[in-house]
Amino acid sequence: MLLGMRFKQEYKSPVDNVVEDFLIPALSEAKSYDRAVGYFSSTSLVVLTRGISKMIQNGGKIRIVCSPELSEEDIIAIKTGLKNRKDVIKNYLSHYEIKTDDYFEQERLNMLAHMIEDNQLEIKIALTIDESETSIFHTKIGIISDGIYFVAFSGSMNESLNGLMKNPEHIDVFTNFDDYSRAISKKNMFEEFWNNEDPTVEVIDFPDDLKKQITKYKKPRINWNIDKEQFKMPEKKYPKLPAYIKELRPYQEKAIVNWKNNNYVGIYDMCTGAGKTIAALQSAVTLLEDKNHKMGIVILCPYQHLVDQWCRDLDGFGFRYVIGYSTSPQRDWKNRLKQAVFDYNNMLTDYFCLITTNDSFASKFVTEQLDNVERDMLIIADEAHNLGTNRLLNKLDNRFKYRLALSATIDRHNDAFGTASLYNYFGEKCIIYTLRQAIYEDKKLTPYHYHPIPVYLNEQELEKYNELSDIIQKYIRKEKDGTITYDKKAEIYLIKRARIVAGCDQKIEKLIETIRDYKLENENHMLVYCGATTAVDCDYQEKHPLSEEITQLQKVELNLHNKLGMNVSKFTSEESAEKRMSIARAFDEGIDIKAMVAIRCLDEGVDIPSIKTVFILASSTNPKEYIQRRGRVLRKFEGKDYAEIFDYITLPRELNKIDKYMDTDRDLGLICRELKRAYDFGKLSENLIDTEELINDIEMAYSFIFERSADNE
């Protein structure tokens, strides 16, 4: 019965297979099929027999109203008045020859011959009344009925082989149980044509000579298995692990098992370069398989360039997906999402997948669409620490029964509430896979040398730094449990102070010295990180770099080009995705570009594994940021046996000029923050001794013992 079936509101070929997705399922439940079409051909009769076997066995009937395809000569003759249109058409049909040597076509014509003999197939020819016009009958509607319920459709599709199978066509679908008024309108329209009651059309009977052309193919029996013999109905294609990934890494498999055992809720704490994306997509595949492929999947990325990168892996896994953000390459992404949700709710598709940015996820449109979803959903959050803001936390609700967070640094810097909220929503860690394991145990990342290079604030920078420190002290408080909380006003001054450290004037001078000493004639694949990084950075909007960041980048570009003669290219969010890809390819080849100068957009998830040497001019005290920046240079690449990291450590004053009479109390905070990063970087390097030497020099200059941070890796 048609009532129990689900139909899409619209079918488009070649995206949809109209015959297999719509006609065959509907006709299998039908007792009658009425069709009014603009053009008729013998091939359309053959195509029509697909899916009608069951209907014929149940005594069903087909009625067709159509016009033949006239030759150009006939059309000219009618237009010039040389021939009567009705005579032309009758003559055309009477001499129409149906001829085929194809076994399957012969069997289908045999089926039609039996239908004509049993009065199960009737065909009529429609002519427009106004003979001064050369146009012919063009109405295109269909009605499939089970005797009680019926489905009507209309659109550009003709009942010809090309119209049904090849041409880019579409039909709109209405049922009398969902959209009665439009469905009954189409049904009444057909009946008027069939009964010759439409004043604009004259309907004539199908010529007997043409019926004989069909009945000559009649055989004693109908082959009811012709569909099975001719067509192997394609299996539904679901996402799966790509062939180019022979097997998952053991820790990826362990993560998925733990996530599954935790009811598909949890966090993957994997270091940069450990394959979080692949693990996440295979997790989605596992959930789809366990839930009979019925799932809505929403993937969140903080920035657009990460969405684009995920799409490449989604393609590899064979996912169908909607790319949802303002400048999406799918310009009709909003309509696609609406249709995907409708189809998923009505069980027309087993799953849907939306990949979007955090900002678009929080938008009114996406929120409303996801609110409409009536079946289960999975949310996958890449760089999940970015979701800890109030605006985004409010969107993490019970719509998503299944949850997966990806982040090597999910603990938010100086944000206990946001961190706790993320753990509360995404649950416990299913895996902790550290950088030490990736480099030294599993050899999945490249070993590295770490070079901490001290730079010093000038007199004006130090004075301003101390002024801001005094102001910040007024807006912070220490809680009973020992944690320090910051007032909103403190955050403003923390950002200003961080920019002083990031933009220290001496950094560019030291950078030029370092590269001049380091640079070899054939040394390429160098990256310089610029930017006035902020203390609280998770709400940074892509494509809006700060003026301080642009200034530092421009200075670096100018100096590297003018003083060292280096061909340098900037790599920022201001460049289009296509431009960044072009730069990355040229950088990989190592021919046209000696170095890249980057702001932010390489911080999270972008893979350019050929980077061998990185110079970090700006880095905050936020572990999220500097851990990710280190990860960019540790990807495996042919010919890269190890990586080099040069990190510019900002200190308040030159060590050899410190004496006990100076007011150095406020120096300690900056020193501890900078050296924590240095030690975190140095402890996994091949040359830890270089970091220890710098720490010892500072300890001696300030006569205090630097308390090394605990090893959290």
pLDDT tens-digit profile of 138-150? 788 899 999 899 9
- Tell me: do 517 and 386 sit in the same domain: no
Flag whether 235 is in a domain.
no
- Tell me: do 278 and 380 sit in the same domain: yes
Closest by CA position to 321, among listed 290, 299, 305: 299
For range 614-642, the mean pLDDT: 78
DSSP label of 662? S
The band of 521, judged by pLDDT with boundaries at 50, 70 and 90, is low
State residue 449's pLDDT score: 95
State residue 540's pLDDT score: 38
State residue 579's pLDDT score: 74
Flag whether 562 is in a domain.
yes
For range 81-100, the mean pLDDT: 68
Mean pLDDT lowest among 16-20, 338-342, 642-646: 16-20
State residue 457's pLDDT score: 94
Give residue 414's Cα distance to chain centre. 31
The number of helices, as runs of H, and strands, as runs of E, in the chain is 27, 23
State residue 189's pLDDT score: 93
State residue 712's pLDDT score: 42
State residue 450's pLDDT score: 95
Flag whether 50 is in a domain.
yes
- Pick the last residue of a domain from 230, 259, 288: 230
Sheet with strand 568-571: strands edge to edge: 448-456, 643-651, 613-616, 526-529, 595-598, 568-571
State residue 279's pLDDT score: 97
Flag whether 708 is in a domain.
no
> How many Å apart are CA 472 and CA 489, to the nearest integer?
8
The 3-state secondary structure of 686-710 reads CCHHHHHHHHHHHHHHHCCCCCCCC
Number of structural domains in the chain: 3
Q: Each residue of 268-311: pLDDT tens digit?
A: 999 877 889 999 999 999 999 999 889 999 999 988 878 988 99
The structure tokens 């066509």 sit at 169
- The H or E element spanning position 453 is strand 448-456
Q: Are the CB atoms for 698 and 675 separated by under 8 Å?
A: yes
- Tell me: do 590 and 620 sit in the same domain: yes
pLDDT at 161 over 50: no
pLDDT at 349 over 70: yes
Q: Which two tokens stand for residue 155?
A: 């659109």
What's the mean pLDDT when you consider all of the chain? 82
Instruction: Pick left, alpha or beta for residue 273 (phi over 0 → left; psi -120 to 50 → alpha; otherwise beta).
Output: left
- Pick the last residue of a domain from 400, 433, 466: 433
> How many Å apart are CA 62 and CA 31, to the nearest integer?
9
For range 557-568, the mean pLDDT: 84
Q: Are the CB atoms for 539 and 413 separated by under 8 Å?
A: no
CATH number of the domain where residue 212 is located: 3.30.870.10
- Tell me: do 263 and 218 sit in the same domain: no
- Pick the last residue of a domain from 380, 401, 433: 433
pTM above 0.75, yes or no: no
Q: Each residue of 643-681: pLDDT tens digit?
A: 999 999 999 989 888 876 566 777 888 888 888 889 989
Closest by CA position to 114, among listed 176, 35, 61: 61
Percent share of the chain, pLDDT over 70: 80
For range 318-344, the mean pLDDT: 91
State residue 392's pLDDT score: 93
Q: Which two tokens stand for residue 347?
A: 């069980």
DSSP label of 234? P
State residue 621's pLDDT score: 60
Question: Which range has highest mean pLDDT (232-246, 390-404, 560-574)?
Answer: 390-404
- Tell me: do 421 and 449 sit in the same domain: no
Percent share of the chain, pLDDT over 90: 34
Q: Are the CB atoms for 44 and 386 separated by under 8 Å?
A: no
Closest by CA position to 10, among listed 234, 238, 335, 333: 335
- Tell me: do 693 and 563 sit in the same domain: yes
- Tell me: do 178 and 119 sit in the same domain: yes
- Tell me: do 351 and 257 sit in the same domain: yes
Q: Each residue of 356-405: pLDDT tens digit?
A: 999 999 999 999 999 999 999 999 999 999 898 888 999 998 999 999 99
Question: Which range has highest mean pLDDT (58-67, 179-188, 485-494)?
Answer: 179-188
More confident call, 696 vs 348: 696
pLDDT at 530 over 60: yes
- Tell me: do 204 and 277 sit in the same domain: no
- Tell me: do 273 and 144 sit in the same domain: no
State residue 707's pLDDT score: 43
Q: Which two tokens stand for residue 508?
A: 């560019």
Flag whether 334 is in a domain.
yes
Instruction: Give, in degrees to the nearest 5, the angle at Cα 523 between 520 and 525.
Output: 150
For range 683-705, the mean pLDDT: 86
CATH number of the domain where residue 595 is located: 3.40.50.300
Pairing of strands 484-486, 476-478: antiparallel
Flag whether 79 is in a domain.
yes
What is the extent of the structural domain holding 538? Answer: 445-456+505-702
State residue 92's pLDDT score: 67
More confident call, 627 vs 115: 115
State residue 544's pLDDT score: 47
> How many Å apart are CA 427 and CA 211, to the nearest integer?
71
Q: Each residue of 535-551: pLDDT tens digit?
A: 334 333 444 445 555 67
For range 48-75, the mean pLDDT: 77
- Tell me: do 169 and 219 sit in the same domain: yes
State residue 43's pLDDT score: 66
Can you tell me whether residue 619 is helix, strand or coil? coil
- Tell me: do 169 and 257 sit in the same domain: no
Flag whether 118 is in a domain.
yes
Mean pLDDT lowest among 44-48, 156-160, 579-583: 156-160
Flag whether 482 is in a domain.
no
Instruction: Give, in degrees to the nearest 5, the angle at Cα 390 between 604 and 599.
Output: 25
